[in-house]
Every structure is written in C-alpha cells, then in structure tokens.
Amino acid sequence: MYSKKPINYYSPFLQITKALKELGSIGAMFLETVYQTFRKPFKLNYIFKQMEFIGVNSSVIVIITGVFTGMVLALQSYHGFRKFGGEGLVGATVALSMTRELGPVLTALMVTGRAGSAMAAELGTMRVTEQIDALTVMALNPVKYLVVPRVVAAFFMLPVLTIISDFVGIIGGYIVGVKLLGINEGAFITKIIKHLDLDDIYNGLIKAACFGIILSLVSCYKGFYTSGGAEGVGRSTTEAVVVSSVSILISDYVLTSLMF
C-alpha cells in the first residue's frame, strides 16, 4: 500500500518544494480572496465583526506595546545622544522610529500573536469539524465567508492600530524624554516637526495595511488547510504565527527598500 522507500521529510529539496507549493497556494488564495471581495453580495456584517475582533479587541495590547516602545526608545536614544549633546533629537528619533518602523511592525506582530493565531485556530477547527465543508455544501464559497472578512478587516484595521501605536509611542517618548529626563520640551517637539514628514507616517500606514493582508492571509491559509484533528489545529496555529511573523519581517525589508 505505502511506498517502501522511506521519505526523508527533512531533505532540503523537499522542504523547498513544499515551501514553493505553499507560496503558490497562498497566492492562489489571495487571488480568490480579491476576486470574492469585489463580488456581490458583500458580507459587511462579517467584515465588521472581524474588524471588531482584529481592531478593537487588539487596541489595548497595541497601545501598551506602543507606549512602552516609545518610552524605551527615548531612554536608549537619550543615553546615546547625551554623549555629544544631541538630547534634542530624542523626540525626532522616537517619532521616526515609531512611524516608519516600529509602529507598523510591532502592531502587525502583536495582531499576529493575538488575532492571527485565533484565525488559524478558528478556521482549523471549522475545517476538522467539517464546518467549511458545510458551507460548501450549502453552495456558499467558504473563502468569501471566512477569509475575505478577515483579510479585509485586517487590511483596514492594521493602519488604524498603527496610527494609534505611533501616537501613543511618541507620547511615551515625550513622557520619558521631557518629564523624566528633562529634555527641553520645545526642542523635543520642534525636532519632531522638523524631521518627521507626512510621508513617513503614510508609508508606515501603507506598510501596516500590507502586513494586515499578509498576516490574515497566511493565518487563514494555515487554518483553512488544516488536517489531522485537534493536533492539526494546534500545529496550524503555531505555523500561522511563525510564518506570518517571518513573512512580516521579510516583507518589511522589501517594502521599506521600495518606499523610502
């Protein structure tokens, strides 16, 4: 019945083939998602539900992450800049780091950990309990009902979370820099205004939107093609978080090199 020859599942060739196959499947799912997104009927209520789950429910953790990131950035850069009397640049450093890099990336990673894992677990469970098949049998496209709302919601909510993260991060930097370390408040704020461009913010938000698509798509894919019962769901969840996070960091480099 089964092949007599033992298959080496860890051979690099097989791993690469598998990765490419997976990339292709994710790409196919992305196209299907885009197609289904613009096809009637629009499932707005599903999208809003997912927006609440991905956006509103992640806001607290994103705010906490943002504030403390801004605070530690101010603290670290202060000690560096103090050596050559550039304390005034702490504000600009915090603002630029938050808007261009840390805001989008940390937000995406936090949402991956919180919502991406939940997506994979939810869809994985639906797969193993045949709920996805049930949708198909009802002549309903499961991608439209399950994947599209999540991807669209992540696409819209990641920028919103990111701008909140940027803002509270700068406030965190302000609290540490001006209130605790005693940096001149005027210098702190004017340097931010001088060095921060609107493009920095906008490009950060575009990045965030891309991360939203990536993390939701990867997580949905992993959940959607789960097999092997409860254990398979656990495996999918882990893989979803790992693959999403790595994809975010890789695409971050690519997007940054394209934009700035």
Partner 1 sequence: MNNRMVSSELKVGIMILIGILILFYMSFRIGKYGVFSEHGYELTAVFINAGGLDVKTPVKIAGVEAGKIKKISLDGFKALITLTIRGSVRIPVDSRISIRSQGILGDKFLEITPGNDQKILAQGGKIQDVVEAPDFDQLFASVNGAAKNFGETMGELKGIISEKEKANIRKSIENFQEASGDFKNLIKENKGNISRVVSNVDETMSGLKLMVKDVESGKGTLGLLVKDETLYNDAREAVNVLKTISAEIDQGKGTLGKLVKDEALYDETKATIANIKDLTDGIKKGEGTLGRLAKDDSLFIETEKAAKKVQKAAEGIQEMTPVTILGTIFGMFF
Partner 2 sequence: MEDVAIRIVDLQKSFGEQRVLDGINLEVEAGKITVIIGKSGGGKSVLLKNVIGLIKPDSGEIWIDGVETTSLSERDMNNIRMKFGMLFQEAALFDSMDLFDNVAFPLREHTKMSENEITSTVEERLKQVGLTGFSEKMPSELSGGMRKRVGLARALVLDPEIILFDEPTSALDPIISLTILDLIKQTQTYFKKTYLVISHDILGMFRIADKVAMLYNGKIIEYGTPHDIKRSTNEATKEFLNATKIPGFTGGDL
Residue 10 sits in the site that holds partner 2 (CB under 8 A): no
The residue from 73, 151, 163, 210 that contacts partner 1 (CB under 8 A) is 163
Q: How many residues bind partner 1 (CB under 8 A)?
A: 23
Restricting to residues 101-140, name those near partner 2 by CB under 8 A: 125-126, 129-131, 133-134, 136-140
Task: Report residue 7 CA to chain centroid gap.
Answer: 35
Q: CB under 8 Å, gap of 24 or more: what pairs does 196-205 form?
A: 196/92, 196/95, 196/96, 196/99, 200/96, 200/99, 200/100, 201/99, 201/163, 201/166, 203/100, 203/259, 203/260, 204/99, 204/100, 204/101, 204/103, 204/104, 204/162, 204/166, 205/104, 205/159, 205/162, 205/163
CB nearer partner 1, residue 161 or residue 240: 161
Residue 156 sits in the site that holds partner 1 (CB under 8 A): yes
The residue from 14, 56, 242, 249 that contacts partner 1 (CB under 8 A) is 56
CB nearer partner 2, residue 57 or residue 141: 141
Residue 198: name its binding partner from partner 1, partner 2, none (Cβ under 5 to 8 Å by kind): partner 1
CB nearer partner 2, residue 53 or residue 188: 53
d(CA 150, CA 118): 11
- Check: CB of residue 35 under 8 Å from CB of residue 29: no
Residue with tokens 């995406």: 108
Strands (E), 58-103: none
Give the range of 21-29, 72-80, 154-162, 219-227 binding partner 1 by CB under 8 A: 154-162
Q: What angle do CA 192, 197, 199 make, to 5 degrees?
A: 145
Residue 197 sits in the site that holds partner 2 (CB under 8 A): no
List of residues contacting partner 2 (CB under 8 A): 1-3, 125-126, 129-131, 133-134, 136-141
| Binding residues for partner 1 (CB under 8 A) | 45, 48-49, 51-52, 55-56, 59, 156-157, 159-161, 163-164, 166-167, 193, 196-198, 201, 205
